[in-house]
Amino acid sequence: QSALTQPPSASGSPGQSVTISCTGTSSDVGGYNYVSWYQQHPGKAPKLMIYEVSKRPSGVPDRFSGSKSGNTASLTVSGLQAEDEADYYCSSYAGSNNLIFGTGTKVTVL
């Protein structure tokens, strides 16, 4: 299965909002509410930011929110801060005990 499609890059100034899309198909993103988002800083392990489309783990700021419409999921980071600059990956359950990740988006805080 092909990776979910994300824009290669996104950017915003401090305090602004940025939204990252994650496009799949009806067999993955559109078919299940098991979309997750991970933040990864250089040289570090991924960190879970959103799971099951819109749920936030304990400790993740409420500036991070997730949603889904059809075959596209989205992660919105509001009130951008310097520490939000990182790579972001979506993932989705794809049926038959398979998981697929997105292509990744580099977020730059201008």
Partner 1 sequence: EVQLVESGGVVVQPGGSLRLSCAASGFTFDDYAMHWVRQAPGKGLEWVSLISWDGGSTYYADSVKGRFTISRDNSKNSLYLQMNSLRAEDTALYYCAPEPESGSYHFDYWGQGTLVTVSS
Question: By the criterion CB under 8 A, which residues form the site for partner 1?
Answer: 1, 3, 34, 36, 38, 45-48, 51-52, 57, 89, 91-93, 96-104
Rounded least distance, CB 8 to partner 1, Å: 11
Between 33 and 76, CB nearer to partner 1? 33
What secondary structure does DSSP assign to the chain, as a single string? -PPBB--SEEEE-TT--EEEEEE--TTTTTT-S-EEEEEE-TTS--EEEEBTTTB--TTS-TTEEEEEETTEEEEEE-S--GGG-EEEEEEEE-STT-EEEB--EEEEE-
- Listed residue (101, 105, 91) closest to 53, CA to CA: 91
Between 1 and 69, CB nearer to partner 1? 1
Q: What residue has token string 């730059």?
A: 108
Between 45 and 110, CB nearer to partner 1? 45
Rounded least distance, CB 59 to partner 1, Å: 10
Between 60 and 78, CB nearer to partner 1? 60
Rounded least distance, CB 35 to partner 1, Å: 9
Rounded least distance, CB 90 to partner 1, Å: 10
